[in-house]
Amino acid sequence: MSNSQNLQLLKELYIYKSMGFSYVDKLQSVQNNTKNRSIVTWDDLEKTVKNCFLCELSKSRKNTVFGNGNKNAKVMFIGEAPGMVEDESGDVFVGRSGELLTKMIENVLNIPRDEVYITNMLKCKPPSNASATKNQINSCSDYLTSQINLVSPKLIVALGQSVYQYLSNDDSSLSEARMSISKYKEISVITTYHPSYLLRNPSIKKQAHQDLLKIKSFLDNL
Ligand code: URA
């Protein structure tokens, strides 16, 4: 390890200490693992996420929310971050927006929910449902990258603007992002409204329905 890497590591350890941590489990080197896909296993990854203390959300969470579903799914849904119900249970999309997401998948796409893989960009709940910060997204990004590599889906459905912007590294608004199919590495990405936004704005249901038909047609043509 070079001196500057040592310094960076030391700085991070001081940050943990100032946050009140006196001990951290030996971390799996997710960063190295993601460079060599064959080393990452679901078990290791889930364990690493459970023991993650890379950002301040680790101090306020009740549970990490890893994600679940078919690990060989053709389609992967990615939301922003767990809400209160998910934080309590440790399960992904199980609150009101989860119920709506299930209806979108089962009633419009005609796929049982457990046939798709569902996760979030962040694995811990932000306080008061605040938007994910850059620092939180960066701290969690290796976990999401590993999940995408492991599932290796044909299609990613980005639920909301922040997920689109992160995956595409592009600042376009949600309305622009919905217009086209973008790419995350080689994987196609279709962007639609986040279910919790839909719950707050029922008048845009029609547009969301159009997005779902686009997703269905993509999957039917695989
Ligand atoms: N909103 C999300 O983005 N993810 C969840 O798991 C729940 C609500």
Q: Name 119's bridge partners.
A: 78
Question: What was the pLDDT predicted at 13?
Answer: 75
Q: How confident is the model at residue 95 (pLDDT cuts 50, 70, 90)?
A: very high
Mutate to test the pocket of ligand 1, among 62, 86, 87, 140 (most ligand atoms within 8 A of CB): 86
Question: What was the pLDDT predicted at 21?
Answer: 72
Question: What was the pLDDT predicted at 184?
Answer: 98
pLDDT at 134 over 60: yes
Question: What was the pLDDT predicted at 11?
Answer: 60
pTM: 0.85
Report how far residue 154's alpha carbon sits from residue 137's, in angstroms, rounded to the nearest whole number.
23
Mutate to test the pocket of ligand 1, among 76, 89, 93 (most ligand atoms within 8 A of CB): 93
Question: What was the pLDDT predicted at 97?
Answer: 97
Of the candidates 201, 200, 182, the one whose C-alpha atom is nearest the C-alpha of residue 191 is 182
Question: What was the pLDDT predicted at 34?
Answer: 44
pLDDT at 30 over 90: no
Question: What was the pLDDT predicted at 33?
Answer: 45
Mutate to test the pocket of ligand 1, among 57, 63, 80 (most ligand atoms within 8 A of CB): 80
pLDDT at 4 over 60: no
Check pocket membership of 64 for ligand 1, CB cut-off 6 A: no
Q: How confident is the model at residue 22 (pLDDT cuts 50, 70, 90)?
A: low
Check pocket membership of 162 for ligand 1, CB cut-off 6 A: no
| Ligand 1 center from residue 164 Cα (angstroms) | 15
| Ligand 1 center from residue 113 Cα (angstroms) | 15
Amino acid identity for residue 179 in this structure:
M
Check pocket membership of 91 for ligand 1, CB cut-off 6 A: no
pLDDT at 44 over 90: yes
Of the candidates 158, 123, 153, the one whose C-alpha atom is nearest the C-alpha of residue 141 is 123
Pick the CATH number of 41-221 from 3.40.470.10, 3.40.630.30, 3.40.50.1820, 3.80.10.10: 3.40.470.10
Low-confidence winner among 12-21, 124-133, 201-210 (lowest mean pLDDT)? 12-21
pLDDT at 37 over 60: no
Mean residue pLDDT of the chain comes to 90
pLDDT at 29 over 60: no
Kindly report each contact of residues 195-199 with a partner whose C-beta sits within 8 Å and lies 24 or more positions away, as own/partner.
Answer: 195/79, 195/93, 195/97, 195/98, 195/100, 195/101, 195/104, 195/159, 196/83, 196/96, 196/97, 197/160, 198/97, 198/100, 199/96, 199/97, 199/100
Question: What was the pLDDT predicted at 25?
Answer: 53
Q: Which residue ranges make up each domain of the chain?
A: 41-221
Of the candidates 171, 116, 124, the one whose C-alpha atom is nearest the C-alpha of residue 143 is 124
